A and B are shown apart, each in its own frame.
Chain A
Amino acid sequence: MLKVDVEKRYGAKRIAAAFETAGQVTALFGPSGAGKTTIVEMIAGLVTPDRGRVTLGDRVLFDAARRIDVPAHRRRVGYVFQDARLFPHLSVARNLNYGRWMRGLKADRANENRIVEMLGIGALLGRRPAGLSGGERQRVAIGRALLSEPEILLLDEPLASLDAARKDEVLPYLDRLRTETRMPIVYVTHVEAEAQRLSAESVRIDGS
């Protein structure tokens, strides 16, 4: 279970969130510009909050009062970025394996094949990110995050930069992600329908 209570100020703008996840999928829902991405970055350790606390299960990831700030690479928080961010110099297969190499995990062929099959990216393995469609990139990015064996997966508006046809291409895979893995998911979106479709509980983020 992820517990978050963080706050960050940029000049006059205040970005804050306090919530805890209960079910498998939690939606962070709010208008554009409310600071949803900043909140997710604070959970992942990519942005340092001014104040607050983040815990994942029994691990404290961040605690301003106790000066705890686990660096991003030790948090085991999978992050699927809105813009996918596949490494342009690596093939799809190497992108998928990157997290396993960096965490020194053993190769798990069965798990790998299951995830590749679930996301329908088997035909892309030898290709480079530059040759993929937006939907394909996003599916590879989900696979890459899953294969780094995180304890939770943060999906930051994975559909926002895709056109309608590409969205429909990715959505079924998100459903499979939810039903075929037990991975806890935080799903960030500004589209209420997406939030409702995927998750039972929803956290509202408002800018101030």
Chain B
Amino acid sequence: MEWVFTPEEWQAVRLSLRIAFWATLSALLPAFAVAHVLARRRFVGKTLLDAVIHLPLVIPPVVTGYLLLLAFGRKGPIGAFLERVFGFTFAFRWTGAALAAAIMGFPFLVRAIRLSIEAVDRRYEKAAASLGASPFWVLLTVTLPLALPGLIAGMVICFAKALGEFGATITFVSNIPGETQTLSAAIYTYTQVPNGDAQALRLTAISIVIALLALIASEWLARRATERLHGR
């Protein structure tokens, strides 16, 4: 079998990386906000909020994809609004794939960040307040840097989850080569056509390589962040 990638295969790889990158990046700020609220506040409906965030983990991905289609499709209430007002659409675009991946990765991101915020020693936050730091600056200069290793770990999990997303993506934005055909969708497609084995295998190999690289990179980043935090 040939180990040379065809342009179509590279396209799927590049597209997957782009989708996973933007999914992780756009999920980061909302995930941090939600994780901070869950870690630090007590309020009515907290259990419900926690459950809603974890929904994408437990309902079938196809259902999530279908709900996205209903809401963000051209005829969906949010989709129609976005198209009318901003001329922007998620439907059958790579941006839609990124949205689906972001929602599927969101629970993992929130969970990792929440745990790392809960692990931050609040005595440092009190010290910062006594030195004149407002709650916002305490968050930015103390809580965030001390939670950084967990935040990095969460981003990598979210990225990996986004790379592997299949069910919600294919339901929401279909399987269009060059636009929404991610690695997983491409592998699936090649397994469905005669003589697609070599292509499917090559893409499988590269998915494993990407996942391994992401894990190694996160280990290294998290170790460096921890050393920076607690080093001499």
Binding site for B on A (CB under 8 A): 44-46, 71-79, 81, 83, 85, 87-89, 98-99, 102-103, 127-128, 130-131, 144-145, 148
Contact = CB atoms under 8 A, between A and B. Distances in A.
Contacts of A102: 128, 131-134, 137, 141
Contacts of B231: 128, 130
B131 A130 contact: no
A44 B123 CA distance: 13
A108 B134 CA distance: 22
B150 to A, nearest CB: 14
Contacts of B134: 71, 73, 102
Interface centre among B126, B230, B231 (most CB of A within 10 A): B126
11 contacts: A73-B130, A73-B133, A75-B130, A81-B127, A83-B123, A85-B124, A85-B126, A98-B141, A99-B131, A102-B134, A145-B130
Interface of B: 123-124, 126-135, 137-138, 141-142, 145-146, 228-232
A72 B232 contact: no
B132 A128 contact: no
Contact of B130 (A78, A83, A87): A78
Closest CB pairs A-B (n = 5): A131-B232, A99-B131, A79-B130, A103-B132, A72-B129
A83 B123 CA distance: 9
A144 B129 CA distance: 13
A127 B232 contact: yes
A130 B132 contact: no
A102 B131 CA distance: 7
Contacts of B146: 88-89
Nearest to A127: B232
Contact of B127 (A45, A74, A79, A130): A79
Nearest to A41: B126
A44 B130 CA distance: 7
Given A87-B124, A103-B131, A145-B130, 16 more contacts: A73-B132, A73-B135, A73-B138, A74-B132, A78-B131, A85-B124, A87-B127, A87-B128, A88-B146, A89-B229, A99-B131, A102-B137, A128-B232, A130-B231, A130-B232, A131-B232
A17 to B, nearest CB: 19
B201 to A, nearest CB: 46
Contacts of B132: 73-74, 76, 99, 102-103, 148
A85 B230 contact: no
A45 B229 CA distance: 27
Contacts of B129: 45-46, 71-73
A81 to B, nearest CB: 6
Contacts of B230: 88-89, 130
Contacts of B124: 85, 87-88
B130 A46 contact: yes
B83 to A, nearest CB: 45
Nearest to A105: B132
B80 to A, nearest CB: 45
Contacts of A81: 123, 127
Given A87-B142, A128-B231, A72 B130 contact: yes
